[in-house]
């Protein structure tokens, strides 16, 4: 056995306990850091070759382990921009130099540009609804843009689609005189024509009311005289063009903006609907109509419908759903989706590379990054107005500190004893 060897082993032990104390101090310092994940020190022995009569002491080495996959407690806050992940996944954030990284720290606030930025200065990334409902890029960060919640001023959205659903009375009288059909735009229509109106919006957010006229125009029968189908005409006019005199809106000052034909089978189910687009020359917009939920049964006429779009209105609030959809609510009660926040994950989260700012990057040990929307493919949900606390156990860390101190002291005693023995050997020469 070498005296120098035992002293080196003691130094190895002191160094290992110093590393252990370093992780403890890091954990205690970040006990209140949002989304912080505790680190710990693992020990493994180093063994040197020895003979039966001569033992060579080896040493100890340490490795740092991260508890990234361990969920921290969720606490609620007063800010809707504070976000916590319940379950697996990481927010995708961007550094000042444009590098995308991962984090669980969701303490976001609005910066001077309207972007959501956390306390470490990283910008939250999401997919925009500007080109329609977004699709996730599962194996990369392409298509992600900063989530911006600055919505000042007024906003208006022109209508592009509308629908009507309901029932057309199968016992209604067939109108055979084409001069009395609404599409003829003559002075009057028959009492068998039913009228409903619907409000849409132009590009400036102004309301445009359309009048819908439903008239039964034909019945088909088989050789035995049994009814096999029926047809209805749906004529649509701009309400602003209606006649202001007399007892009816006819004649309108302009032609119908849409004339559709609805065909029903013998069971009163819609089989086809042709020429259903509203083409409005005044507003220069086309609105796609959907009549697919209409039936023709032996019951009174009934209908309900709506159009998309939005009148000019100011933003009243911004909300973030559990699925990551960032929506704005307007003063008139309408809502609009702006972004959807994705989450990312890796095969082995505990092996991610930790960087300053409580962010992570993928490496060969962690596996590649896989991106998805919250609540899909095993990813967690997003809670607005909440934060994930550090998963550090202060009582456990204080216990670790005491153990590290005791072990360090014991190793120092071994070193001191070896030093004393060396003094004895040196003194033998004197």
Residues 182-225: tens digit of each pLDDT = 999 987 788 889 999 999 999 998 999 999 999 999 999 988 88
Q: For residues 33 and 358, give the distance between their C-alpha atoms in angstroms, rounded to a whole number.
A: 9
Contacts of 199 (CB under 8 A, 6+ apart): 207, 208, 209, 210, 307
pTM: predicted TM-score of the whole model, two decimal places: 0.69
Is there a contact between 126 and 342 (Cβ–Cβ < 8 Å)? yes
Q: For residues 16 and 412, give the distance between their C-alpha atoms in angstroms, rounded to a whole number.
A: 12
pLDDT at 247 over 80: no
| Prior bond of 251 cis (ω within 30°) | yes
pLDDT at 430 over 70: no
Mean per-residue pLDDT of the chain: 91
Q: Identify the pLDDT of residue 155.
A: 79
Is there a contact between 289 and 163 (Cβ–Cβ < 8 Å)? yes
pLDDT at 115 over 90: yes
Q: Identify the pLDDT of residue 190.
A: 81
- Indicate the pLDDT class of residue 319, thresholds 50, 70 and 90: very high
- Indicate the pLDDT class of residue 303, thresholds 50, 70 and 90: very high
What b/e sequence results for 127-157 when a residue is b if at least 16 CB atoms lie within 10 Å of its CB, and e otherwise? Answer: bbbeeeebebeeeebebbebbbbebeeebbb
**Can you tell me whether residue 385 is helix, strand or coil?**
coil
Q: Identify the pLDDT of residue 324.
A: 95
Query: What pLDDT, in 10s, does the model give residues 127-137?
Result: 999 888 999 99
- Indicate the pLDDT class of residue 21, thresholds 50, 70 and 90: very high
Structure tokens at 356: 């300053």
Structure tokens at 354: 């930790």
Structure tokens at 44: 């493994």
What is the arithmetic mean of pLDDT over 148-174?
Answer: 88
pLDDT at 395 over 60: yes
Q: Identify the pLDDT of residue 311.
A: 85
- Indicate the pLDDT class of residue 89, thresholds 50, 70 and 90: very high
Cβ count near 372 (within 10 Å): 17
Q: Identify the pLDDT of residue 152.
A: 64
pLDDT at 242 over 90: yes
**What is the CATH topology of the domain spanning 159-308?**
Tick-borne Encephalitis virus Glycoprotein; domain 1 (2.60.98)
Q: Identify the pLDDT of residue 330.
A: 82
What is the arithmetic mean of pLDDT over 366-390?
Answer: 95
Closest CA to 18 of 345, 397, 428, 404: 404
What is the arithmetic mean of pLDDT over 272-287?
Answer: 92
pLDDT at 60 over 80: yes
Note every long-range contact of 142-147, with CB atoms under 8 Å and residues 24 or more positions apart, other chains counting.
Answer: 144/92, 144/94, 144/100, 144/342, 145/339, 146/94, 146/115, 146/116, 147/115, 147/116, 147/123, 147/326, 147/338, 147/339, 147/341
Strands 285-297 and 161-169: parallel
- Indicate the pLDDT class of residue 336, thresholds 50, 70 and 90: confident
Q: Where are the domains of the chain?
A: 3-70+391-428, 74-154+314-388, 159-308
What are the angstrom distances between the C-alpha of 60 and each of 16, 17, 48, 124? 7, 10, 11, 42
Q: Identify the pLDDT of residue 187.
A: 78
Structure tokens at 48: 């040197």
């Amino acid at each position: 056995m070498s005296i120098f060897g035992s002293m080196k082993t003691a130094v190895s032990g002191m160094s290992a306990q110093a590393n252990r104390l370093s992780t403890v101090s890091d954990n205690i310092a970040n006990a209140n850091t949002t989304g912080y994940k505790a680190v710990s020190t693992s020990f493994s022995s180093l063994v040197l070759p020895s003979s039966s009569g001569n033992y060579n002491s080896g040493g100890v080495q340490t490795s740092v382990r991260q508890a990234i996959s361990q969920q921290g407690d969720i606490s609620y806050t007063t800010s809707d921009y504070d976000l916590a992940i319940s379950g697996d996944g990481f927010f995708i954030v961007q550094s000042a130099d444009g590098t995308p990284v991962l984090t669980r720290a969701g303490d976001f606030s609005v910066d001077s540009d309207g972007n959501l930025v956390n306390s470490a200065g990283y910008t939250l990334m999401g997919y925009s609804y500007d080109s329609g409902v977004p699709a996730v890029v599962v194996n990369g960060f392409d298509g992600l843009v900063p989530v911006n919640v600055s919505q000042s001023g007024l906003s208006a959205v022109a209508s592009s689609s509308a629908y009507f659903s309901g029932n057309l009375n199968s016992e209604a009288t067939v109108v055979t005189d084409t001069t009395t059909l609404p599409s003829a735009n003559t002075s009057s229509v028959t009492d068998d024509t039913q009228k409903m109106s619907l409000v849409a919006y132009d590009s400036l957010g102004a309301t445009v009311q359309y009048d819908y006229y439903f008239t039964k125009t034909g019945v088909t029968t088989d050789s035995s005289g049994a009814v096999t189908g029926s047809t209805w005409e749906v004529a649509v006019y701009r309400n602003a063009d209606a006649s202001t005199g007399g007892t009816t809106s006819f004649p309108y000052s302009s032609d119908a903006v849409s004339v559709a034909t609805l065909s029903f089978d013998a069971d009163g189910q819609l089989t086809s609907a042709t020429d259903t687009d509203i083409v409005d020359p005044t507003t220069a917009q086309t609105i796609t109509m959907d009549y697919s939920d209409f039936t023709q049964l032996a019951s009174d006429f009934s209908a309900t419908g709506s159009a998309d779009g939005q009148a000019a209105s100011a933003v009243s609030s911004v909300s973030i759903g559990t699925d990551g959809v960032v929506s704005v609510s307007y003063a008139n009660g309408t809502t609009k989706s702006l972004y959807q926040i994705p989450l990312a994950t890796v095969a082995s989260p505990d092996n991610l590379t930790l960087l300053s700012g409580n962010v992570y990057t993928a490496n060969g040990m962690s596996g590649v990054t896989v991106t998805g929307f919250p609540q899909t493919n095993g990813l967690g949900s997003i809670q607005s107005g909440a934060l994930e606390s550090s998963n550090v156990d202060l009582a456990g860390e204080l216990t670790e500190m005491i153990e590290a101190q005791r072990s360090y002291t014991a190793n120092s005693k071994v070193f001191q004893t070896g030093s004393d023995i060396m003094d004895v050997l040196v003194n033998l020469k004197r």
